[in-house]
Amino acid sequence: MTDESPTPLTKRTGPRPLPLHVATATSEWMSAAASLPLFLLDGLHCHPARAETARKLRAKLEKEDMLLLQQTVMLKAQERLMTMMQGIEAYQNHPYRRCVPEPPAALESGSTRLLDYAPNAKGDEPVVIAVPSLVNSYHVLDLMEDHSLMRYLAGEGLRPYLMDWDAPGPLEKLFGLDDYITSRLVPMIREIANRRGRPVHLLGYCMGGNLAIAAAHILKDEGVLDSLTLVATPWDFHAERNVQLEGFLKLMDKSQELFRDLGVVPMDVMQLFFFSLDPTLSDRKFRRFATLDPDDPKTEIFVAIEDWANEGAPLALNLAFDCLNRWYRDNLPHKGEWQVEGRTILPEEITLPCHVITPERDRIVPPASAKDILKHLPDATHTSAASGHVNMIAGYGADKILWPKITEYIK
């Protein structure tokens, strides 16, 4: 596998699933004027944090001409919908395509590889193993050749490795969470610590942070780890939970037999999962993208992130339902009941120095969910990132704001 050749310039078809994103935004904006009377009567549900703002707005709007107000709202809604569609079209036709030299694999096991981002290092550098989510590719941590967390770490004098989970092969199609942790991540940590002759700094992003916590607990008495860094890692999966997620979980539960026939859970289904976490995200980000200058560096980074978000291999069936049921439905980590091969994963028993980085504006991993782990880790340093789930680690400015903090802590 290599990423040295650019992808042909065919028009993108994302964001996936495109019909759902467009239909949701259309419904949202076209119902705006119709919802206005209900809002004025205080009949619409408002987030508690917005209740006072809504009350003041209602008082102000009571003095307005209702017919003119509804017409104005409708025109504004149409304008916003058109802006979103323009943003999607601009994204689909953007010339950027990922063309990044792929680093060599230090270790391979089945379809899993551990990529080495400093193969020519002297040998005495601090060693870092970065663990991305099992959903979507590792590219979020190696986004572009000149905008890559992994390449940044290497340039700062560290010896970074990155887990590439890749698509499940014949063996991995049978894997659940336990298998990826105990048959892939834990053995590779042990091997790299042995090769380098020093303990490893473990860095987990999103769901990769949960895998890293489990590995740190399993390895806590072996002396192979130096520190643990967790970036946007959920721990209380019921914190700030939304109703859309509840509906998705029920749908998945009813559809288990269908997925058993397929043997995997397709990525488009997982895209529905992310959609359920924040149904208005596409509308907001593509309206914003429509206003960007094509030559603005933010534009290319946005496209690279969106391409990453829309790629990804299907998930092993057992893995997908382990995550959905044991984490999102049953909230076992937060309850102290999550087990990996019979071992209860208790962060209270991880005495490593830990750096917990939580987002301030994140719908995928709400701040309360990510901060929950701080209650349990005995030796934790906390950093709050004023950004969203992906932008904090890969967005414009991450190389100036968050990456130096990650490096400083590890060094």
Burial of 194 (0-12, 13-18, 19+ CB in 10 A): exposed
Of 151, 149, 141, 126, residue with least CA distance to 227: 126
Per-residue model confidence as pLDDT tens digits over 240-274? 887 778 888 888 888 888 888 888 999 989 888 88
Question: Are 387 and 370 part of one and the same domain?
Answer: yes
Question: Are 129 and 168 part of one and the same domain?
Answer: yes
- Note whether residue 398 is domain-resident: yes
Question: Are 121 and 203 part of one and the same domain?
Answer: yes
- Note whether residue 393 is domain-resident: yes
Q: What is the Cα–Cα distance from 76 to 107, expressed in whole angstroms?
A: 55
- Note whether residue 212 is domain-resident: yes
Q: What is the pLDDT of residue 50?
A: 84
- Note whether residue 257 is domain-resident: no
Show Cβ contacts of residue 340 under 8 Å, excluding neighbours closer than 6 positions: 177, 178, 181, 182, 214, 218
Question: Are 118 and 44 part of one and the same domain?
Answer: no
Question: Are 21 and 169 part of one and the same domain?
Answer: no
CATH number at residue 365: 3.40.50.1820
Q: What is the pLDDT of residue 8?
A: 54
Of 114, 135, 133, residue with least CA distance to 187: 114
Question: Are 213 and 338 part of one and the same domain?
Answer: yes
- Note whether residue 101 is domain-resident: no
Question: Are 176 and 53 part of one and the same domain?
Answer: no
- Coil, helix or strand at residue 290: helix
- Note whether residue 385 is domain-resident: yes
**Total number of domains in the chain:** 2
The tokens describing 99, both together, are: 């063309």
Q: What is the Cα–Cα distance from 164 to 133, expressed in whole angstroms?
A: 10
Question: Are 217 and 124 part of one and the same domain?
Answer: yes
Per-residue model confidence as pLDDT tens digits over 110-152? 999 999 999 999 889 999 999 999 999 999 999 999 999 999 9
**Among all chains, which residue has been given the structure tokens 């323009």?**
86
Question: Which range of residues forms the domain containing residue 226?
Answer: 107-239+314-410
Question: Are 132 and 168 part of one and the same domain?
Answer: yes
Q: Are strands 339-340 and 343-344 parallel, antiparallel or unpaired?
A: antiparallel
Question: Are 199 and 57 part of one and the same domain?
Answer: no
Domain boundary among 291, 308, 325: 308
Q: CA of 411: how far to CAs of 148, 157, 159, 277, 378, in Å?
A: 19, 9, 11, 35, 20
The tokens describing 86, both together, are: 């323009």
Q: For the chain (length 411 residues), average pLDDT per consecutive 10? A: 53 92 93 86 80 90 88 94 97 95 97 97 94 96 98 98 96 96 98 97 98 98 98 96 83 85 88 87 95 92 96 92 95 98 97 96 93 97 95 96 97 93
Question: Are 142 and 206 part of one and the same domain?
Answer: yes
- Coil, helix or strand at residue 130: strand
- Note whether residue 65 is domain-resident: yes
Q: What is the pLDDT of residue 152?
A: 98
- Note whether residue 55 is domain-resident: yes
Question: Are 219 and 188 part of one and the same domain?
Answer: yes
